[in-house]
Structure 1
C-alpha cells in the first residue's frame, strides 16, 4: 500500500464524498491557475490531492466520472480571449516523485515497447505551455493549453515574446505543424520585474501621501495594484494572457515590462503529418534550424542508469539554470514508439515528469514582529503557520527591513508563498492576492525598540535599516553579543548558546541580570548563576507557557537543582549548582586561553571576522598592540584595509568597550600570542597551503562558510573573499554564483567539497596526484 492509499475510504458512500471533495479542490485550483493566473495552492498540495483522488478512484472505480480531474487536462476556456482549437490534443504529463517510481516507469515502458528504448531527458520548465501553429512557415496562431483541445488565442502578445518568430527560417516547411513549448521568465528578469513592482508601489504610496492619504489604505491599494509576483510561473502566465489595450498609466508600464521579460523554449510537436526525422532529439535539431529556441540542456540516455544520473545531477544543480525548474521530463526518443505506446485521456504513455521535492509552498502570514539583534538592527520577521518546505518545518523568515516589507507587498493575514531553495534561508516571496478577504492589515514599523524602548533611527543618513542606539544596555543586543561570543566562529564555548545567553542577560529572576554587558562574562560565579530563573516559552510561538492552575508563567532554573538524598545526609539542604552551571564555568575557564584572533572576533567589532582577526593577531601579537596602533599601521596589514582600521579605532574609543577588554584581561583571559616578537614581525603561518590563495563559495559539505575559511587559514593559505587572477583555487558547492562564473572566466581551477578537504589537509600536490591533467 502506498502513502496515498493510507486511510482510504472503506465504503462507496465515503469514497464518493471524498472524490467530490477532492474534485472541488482540484478544479478550484485549476480555475484559479489557468483562468485567473493565481496560484492559490502550492504544487506539493495540488499533487497530493491528485494522487489521493487517483488512489480513491483505483479503489472505487464507480466514483470516477468522465469529468474527473484525473481524466482531463487544464481548465475550461475563459471568455477573455477567442478560442483556438488545437489540431492535436495538448496533453499533460503524469508524475513520479521518487527514484524508485521513475525506474519502475522506465522498466514498464521498455517492456511495453518490446524493444530497446533510448530516452530523451530535458528540464521541466516552470512556465506556461503554449502551442504555435505554423502553416507553410508562417505563424497562424499562438494558443494556451486550455482544456487540451481548445485554448486561448494569445497571438498578439506571443509575437512580442523573444524567441517566437512570425515566420520560420529556412525552407521546406510543412503545410501545417504545431510546435509546443514553454513560455517562462528567467530568474534574473523575474527579480527585475518584482523590483519594478516595488518601485510602482512606492510611487503610489508617495503620490498618495503628498495628497494627504491614509498610510494603511495607500499601502493596501499599492499592494493590490502592483502585487509582488509570487513566482516566475504565475508572472509568465499573466504576462502572456494580459490585455494591454485595457491598461494605461503605471499599469501599462508594468504590463509592457512583464511582456518584455517573457522567453520561450520549445519542447515538442503536436500536429505534423509526416515529420522527416525519426526521433524527438532530431526534431529539436530541425526546429533549431527553423529559428525556434530549443534547450541546450536536453540529453539522450541509452539506459535507466543514464536517466537516473541526469535527474540526480539537476537535483543538485537546479539553481544553476537561468529559469526555474521543478523536475525532469523523461521521454521515449523514438517517434514511432510514441504512436505505439499511445496515451490515456490526459497524458502520453511515452513520457513522464519526475518532480523534485517542493521548495515552494503556501502558508499563512500570522504576524510580522520586529527583532533586535546584537548590532542593534531592528529586523521585521514573518511569523507563519508552520509549513514543511525543502525537508524542514519553517515558522519564521526574515523580511530584512520595512522597505522590503513594502517591496514584497505582503499584508498581515495574507496567504504567502514561502521558498527555501536547498540550504538557503527561508524567504517569503510574496502574497497570494487571490485569497485576500479584506481582513488583512498593513505592517507598521515601530518607532521604538521593542526590547528597551529607545527610539529607533538609522545609524547614518541614507541607511535603510533602523537601529536601537542603546548599544551598551539594550537587553537584546547584549544577549546577541553574548551568544556570539560562544559561537564557533568566536570563542567556541559549547555551553554558551542562545538559551544560556538569554538566561544570563534577560532572566525573570533576579531583577538585575548577572550580565549587564559582556564585560562580566569571565567574572561569573556560581553564586550569580544558581538564583537565575527563566520563563518557559513555546518553541513555535515564543509565548510564555502558563500554569494550568495559577495562570502564571511557568519558570525554570537552569543553573540549580535540589540536593540528592546522599547530599541531604551530608547536611546539604539548599539549592545546588546544576551540571549546566558547572559546565559553563569550566568552559569559560578554558576559553580564557583560546587563540588571540578568537578574542578579536568575540569583541563584536564591526567588519572584524575570522580572516581579518587572524591577520591582525599574527601581525601585532597582542590586543594591547592593536589598541595602540595608528590607522595606517592597521590598514597596511594584509586583509585589513581602511574600513576595518576605522572600525577598530571607533570601537576602542568607546569607554565601555575598553571596560570589556580590561575586565577580561583582569579575569585571566590571555589577550596575546605568547612569545610573539611584536608588531610588524608576523610569524610565518607555514602549512600545506603556504602561499596559496583559495576562495570558498556556495555550500561545501562538511564545512560552514566560516569553517571553510578557517580550514584554509589553518593550513597556511589565504582565504580570499573575491576571485582574481591571484586566486589559485575556487572551492565551489551548491549555491555558488558569480564567484564561480568569474573563476570559469579566468580559467582558475574549480574544486568540489571532497577535493577541498584534500587540498586543506594534504596540499595542492595531493590534488595533482589525483588528477595530473587538471590545473
Structure 2
C-alpha cells in the first residue's frame, strides 16, 4: 500500500471479510476458507494496522485478545427492563398459560415460537452505527454490570455489523441474549484445567458466568465463550416487526448469532415441540434446562404486557430435573498423579439421567466447605449431559445429630508427606517426591491406551507392582520377568505372558505417545503432539531453552516453564535415559505430503473390530489428518463402526461422506502402499 487512503480502504475490506468468515465459522459452522487462509487475511490486517496505527479501531478483529484489567465493573442502566421468565413444569402449566393468553386476546388459537432455554448468563448488547459499543449483564433487570471489554473477546459476537440482503445498518440497536459455553468447549476447558492441576468447573453455566465476570479481559479471552441472541429492543433505524420470527430473521441478516427457534400452532404444537426438545436435549451442542415459549405476534405481546418483572406473553417450560437424592456414605481423599488432594463423596448408588452415580467430586477444600457436605448427609446429585456428577445441595433437615464436619488432612493420606497449598491457593498437593499414590497413578497413566498402550496394566495391577516394590520407576516395567509377575495376587501364567508381550510391544512407540506418557504437568495429548513435531528427538529437550519451548504451538508461558523445568531436572533426564536404555524407541512424527487424509478432518464413531479408537486416530494423524470429536460441515469423513450413534445421524443430515470399517481400512492400506 503506497497511500493511506488505499490502506484505509483495504483495512475496511479486510475487517468485513474477516467478520464474514467469523460468522461462517462460529455461528453457521460452515467455513468457506481454511484456517491458513483466514490467518493470512488476519496477518495482512495486522500489518496495515502496524504501518498505520490510526487504522486500529476497537471493533477490529485484531483487538479480541482483551484489554487492560479493571478494578471493578461499572453500572449500566438498561433502556428497557430486562425481564425474567415465569416457569412452568408440566402440561397443566402449559394448558393454563395458553388458556390465559387466549382469554386475554379473545383468540381461539395462538401462534408461538419455541426456543431452547440456554443455561448461561443473560446479557444486553448495544450497537451504534453498526459498531458494538457496550454490553452489560442483566443484573436486577434495571441495572447491570458493564462487561463490554470481556464481551469483545467472544469470537461469535461481531464487533461491527455488515448486513446482508441490502438491509440498512440501524443507527442504534439493542439486543438481548445469553452467553454460554458449548459442551465440547467445556470438556476441553476442564481437560486443560485438570492437566494444569487446577480445580474443575462443575458445570458450563458457572464457568460461563465466572468467565464473563473476570476483571481481566485477557482471562475471559482464554475461555471458550459463545453467545446467542433472542430479542431486539426498538431503536433508531430498527424496523417495526409484526412477529418475533420476523425480528429474529432481521437479526440474522445483520450477521448476529441468533438462538435456534421453531414455530408452533397452539398448545398442541408446543407440546409436540417440547417432546422433541426433551428427547433431543443431549444431542444439542450446548446445555439447556427447558424450552422458552413465546407469543409470536408482536401486537399481541404489547396488548398482553407484563406482570411485575415477567412478561405475560412468554414462559420457560422447564425440563424435568436430572437430579436425585441419595446419601453420602463417606468422604475420601483422592491423590492424583500431580499430587493434588481432591475430596470425593462416596454415595449410595443412584440413577441420575440414565446413569448410575456412586461418586461425586467436591473439587477442593473451599468447595467442600462452601457446600458443607458431611458423611451421612442426604444430598441432591445432578448430572447433565457429559458434565461430571456434582452435589447440588444438602438436605440439612435430614442431617444426623452426631454429624461432624469433614477434616481436610494436613498430610498426604497415602505417604504421610506434608500437604501444602499451591501457588494460587486453590489446590492442596502432596509434597512427597516418591509418594506411592502418585507413582501408582503415574504408572497407570504411563501404560494407558493413549500413552504407551500396555494392555492389561490397569489400576489394580499398577498398585500391586508399586506396593510390592517391583516398580519404582517407569524403566522397571521393562525389567519385569515371568517369575516376578507370578508372585502377584491373581496373576496366572497366561496373564503374565500377555502382559510381558504387551510391554515388549510398547517399546516401538511414537514421540507423541512417549512425551504424553511421562505425565508432565500441563502436557496433554495435543500438547505432546505439538512438542513431538517441534522436538522429534526427546533428548533435544534436555538442552532446549525456555524460549525454544515457548515457540511451540499453543504452549503458553506457564506451560513452557513447567516443561522446561521438567526436562532440566537431572532425575527426569535419568528416568528418560533409562527408558531408552531399556529399548524404548520413540519414533518421530511422520510428515505426510500426500494421500486421502492430508488436511482432512475425520470423526470416529461406533466400535471397530480391527482397530481400537486410539489406533485409528493415530493412523489418521500419522497420515496428515485431524480427528475431531464432533460432526460439522467442516468434517470430511465420518468413520462409522458398529453401534454408531448421533454422530452418524448428523453426518447423514449434513451430507458428510461416511465410511464403514472396511472402506476406512482400504483407505489406510492404500495410503500405506502409496
TM-score, normalization: structure 2?
Answer: 0.50
Larger % of strand: which? 2
TM-score relative to the length of structure 1:
0.44
Structure with higher Rg: it is 1
